[in-house]
Amino acid sequence: MSARLLAGCLSGSLLILSPLAQAVPKPTQSDAYTVQTVVTGLAHPWSLAFLPDGRMLVTERPGRLRIIGRDGKPGAPVAGIPTVFASGQGGLLDVALDPQYAQNRLIYLSYAEPGDKGVAGTAVARATLQEAGGHASLQQLKVIFRQQPKVSGDNHFGSRLAFARDGTLFVTLGERKQRDNAQQLGMTLGKVVRIAPDGSVPADNPFKAKSDALPQIWSYGHRNPQGAAINPADGQLWLVDHGARGGDEVNVVQAGRNYGWPVITYGRDYTWLKIGEGTAKPGMEQPRHHWDPSIAPSGMAFYTGQRYPGWKDSLLVGALKDRMLVRLALDGERIVGEERLLTDLEQRVRDVRQGPDGWVYLLTDADPGAVLRVVPR
């Protein structure tokens, strides 16, 4: 059976798929979960990271970083944030804690960085988070990565940060709506890059020895990956990538691989015109799963806790356009089922995180936006 045809059956709200299935019809809505509001009044919150004491760091796209107390009260904006290009999809994006945060208090931010004459590009900075007298600030801020080149426009910045088991940092980068450049190894549009925490290039990066490629590049052929997470089972990087009209993808991202955009895709242009050469081509990777029509996936997380029956080792993905949380059931690296949750929420889900308490937390992309906790009914 074609990889584009469904090959499963509906069992409750979980769709069971064959190993070849890539796209699935909408499963029955699950109504077993609801949400609790942790904090509201945020301006387009984009990313969430938990501090060791259970408080939360939340980025707001206009360019603010806030610490949310355990009581749900947001603090004043953290001082020292770099200047961001706050337009369209641009602004302050992801936040991540250094793996040794308890010792060094380093945090990492990805953001749309302005350039001369209206151009912009995704950048990553790191800084020490300091707190004193009820105030928080970033100290010793250093930009450790800049997307090359900066271009005009305010779409497709990416960008998620994910620390690998070896301490290196993955950064997902959109192609800034310059499709063909996702295939060009002399620039970092439409790429995943891998850098050391100080911004240097790891010795084993796949293109480091190639004179016609940028050494930071880990993989290429991506469109606008706004979700990334390390699979705790094996340490592999997974990401979700926005398609156009259809063609959203879940990929397991490996060194040096070409993920096809815009040469192959399961989607069409917003004009309904065909994009590229088809859905497959030798030398280009197939997604582990795709959505057609598009759900506009954003943040993602692997769930490892015990709070939700049947969720352990699932992949959770937020959806912007379809305003829901998607649970993908896994069998190793195969996606074997899909459950669509909170479809009555009617909120764009920008980020998904598992908290240290085992609950799942969501960010809603709105102004005002909120931090929500998912709980069984």
Q: In which order are the strands placed within the sheet that holds 45-50?
A: 45-50, 56-60, 64-68
| Angle value at C-alpha 290, between 287 and 293, nearest 5 degrees | 150
Whether 156 is catalytic: yes
List the catalytic residue out of 44, 156, 242, 290: 156
Q: How far apart are CA 308 and CA 68, in angstroms?
A: 25
Task: Please name the amino acid found at residue 95.
Answer: V
Cα 83 to Cα 59: distance, rounded to the nearest angstrom: 13
Q: Please tell me the distance from the alpha carbon of residue 127 to that of residue 139, in angstroms, as a whole number.
A: 6
- Which of 306, 309, 341 has its CA nearest to residue 325? 341
| CA-closest candidate to residue 131, choices 200, 57, 62 | 57
- For residue 183 the two structure tokens come to 């295939």
Q: How far apart are CA 85 and CA 105, in angstroms?
A: 26
Residues catalogued as catalytic: 156
